Structure 1
C-alpha cells in the first residue's frame, strides 16, 4: 500500500511529491513503532507466556506476506497525466495511507517481538532504536523508490519483468527472515 502510494506520487507528480509521500509514511511509521513497542512491552510484562506464541505467529504472518509477494504479478502498466496537488498534501496522504494500513500494525507486532526483549534491559531504549531503524529503512526504501521512479519513469512503466522481479525478491527476503524467526521461536 505504502510502496504503491510513493510510486504513484513519484510517477505522476515527480521526485519531490514522491519524497513528500515518503516523509508522510515515515511519520506514520513512527506511530506504528510506538504501537508495536507498547504492544510487545505490555504482552512481555503482563503475560510473558504469550511472547513465544506471538513470535511464532509473527513469523508465520511474515512468511505468508513473503509468499504472497513472490506469487504476485504486480506491474505498472500506465501512468496518467499529473494531478495538481502540493507536497504537503502528498505528505498528509502518505501519513494517512500508512496509518490506515492494518497490515502495517500486524507487521510491527510480528517484527518487534524478535528484537524487543525484556531480558536485554529496558524496552524504551530498544524501542527508540527500532523506531529509528524503521524510519531509516523507510527512507532508504521508499525514498530510493521515489528518486528512481521520478528519474526513470519510462523504464518502470510497462516493464512487467522488472516490477515482478522486485516483488518476488522482496517476498523471498521476507520468507527467509520469517524462517529464521520461526526457528528461533520453536527452538528457543
Structure 2
C-alpha cells in the first residue's frame, strides 16, 4: 500500500486535473443545465467509465504499448480531435440550441446516449492517458507491494476525486441557466465562446506528442 502522506500529494494532483477546464467538464455542465441533474449524473457515470478505461490500460501496461506505437497514438488522437471539432460546430451551427437553455419541450437524450457520449468524451482524450502515465510512476514503488495493486489504488482515488468534484458541478450548474434566461444577449457570446474553447482544445491536442 502507498503511504498516506504520498497519497495526499496524489489527491492534490488529481484535484488540479479535474478542476482544469476540458471537454469532460463542458459536456457535464451542458447536459446538467439543458436536460437536468439526472442527465448530468448519467453523463458523469459515462465519463467515469472512460477514466476506468485508461486506468485499466495503464495498470496492465497496455497504454505503454499504445504510446510506443506512433500510429496507434495518432489514430486515437485524431478521433479525439475530430470529435472536439464536431462539438464546436454543434455549438454554433444555424439554429443550434444554447447549451445553457433549459429544455422545456421534453426532448431529452436517452440514458444510453448520455452515457455513451460521456464515455467517449473521456476515453477519446489521450491527454488523460498521458496524465496517468506521467503521474502514476512517481507514486508507485516496488517496496510498497504489488505494482498492479498500487496502480489500481491510485486509479480508484483519482476516480473518487473526479466524481466528487463533478457531482458538485452538476448540482450547481442549473443556476447558470437562470442567468442566461434573464440575460439573453449573452447567449450568442456563450455559443461562440464554447466553440472557441472546444476548438482550442482540439488544436492543443493536435500539437500534443506521445511521451
Q: Is the TM-score greater than 0.5?
A: yes
What TM-score comes out, normalization by structure 1 length? 0.61
Q: Contact (CA 8 Å) 2:39, 2:114: kept in 1 or not?
A: no
Deviation of the 1:130 alpha carbon? 3.2
The structure richer in helix per residue is 1
Paired residue for 2:48? 30
What TM-score comes out, normalization by structure 2 length? 0.56
1:6 counterpart = 2:68: no
Pick from 169, 180, 184 the counterpart of residue 197 of structure 2: 169
CA 1:71–1:105 in 2, change beyond 3 Å: closer, same or farther?
Answer: closer
CA 1:50–1:36 in 2, change beyond 3 Å: closer, same or farther?
Answer: closer
Paired residue for 1:148? 176
For residues 127 and 65 of structure 1, what CA distance do their matches in structure 2 show?
25
Paired residue for 1:134? 162
For residues 21 and 152 of structure 1, what CA distance do their matches in structure 2 show?
20
Deviation of the 1:81 alpha carbon? 4.0
Q: Contact (CA 8 Å) 1:6, 1:142: kept in 2 or not?
A: yes
For residues 66 and 137 of structure 1, what CA distance do their matches in structure 2 show?
23
Deviation of the 1:148 alpha carbon? 0.5
Mapping for residues 13-162 of structure 1, pairs under 5 Å: 18-42=36-60, 44=61, 48-52=64-68, 53=70, 54-72=72-90, 73-74=92-93, 75-76=96-97, 81=104, 83=106, 96-101=112-117, 103-104=120-121, 106-107=123-124, 110-117=126-133, 119-120=137-138, 121=140, 122-136=150-164, 138-139=166-167, 142-143=170-171, 145-155=173-183, 159-162=187-190
For residues 29 and 122 of structure 2, what CA distance do their matches in structure 1 show?
16
Query: Counterpart of 1:100 in 2: which secondary structure?
Result: helix
Aligned residues: 164
CA 1:48–1:158 in 2, change beyond 3 Å: closer, same or farther?
Answer: closer
Deviation of the 1:64 alpha carbon? 3.1
Q: Contact (CA 8 Å) 2:85, 2:198: kept in 1 or not?
A: no
RMSD: 3.8
For residues 79 and 23 of structure 1, what CA distance do their matches in structure 2 show?
16
Structure 1: gaps (5+ residues): 10-17, 84-89
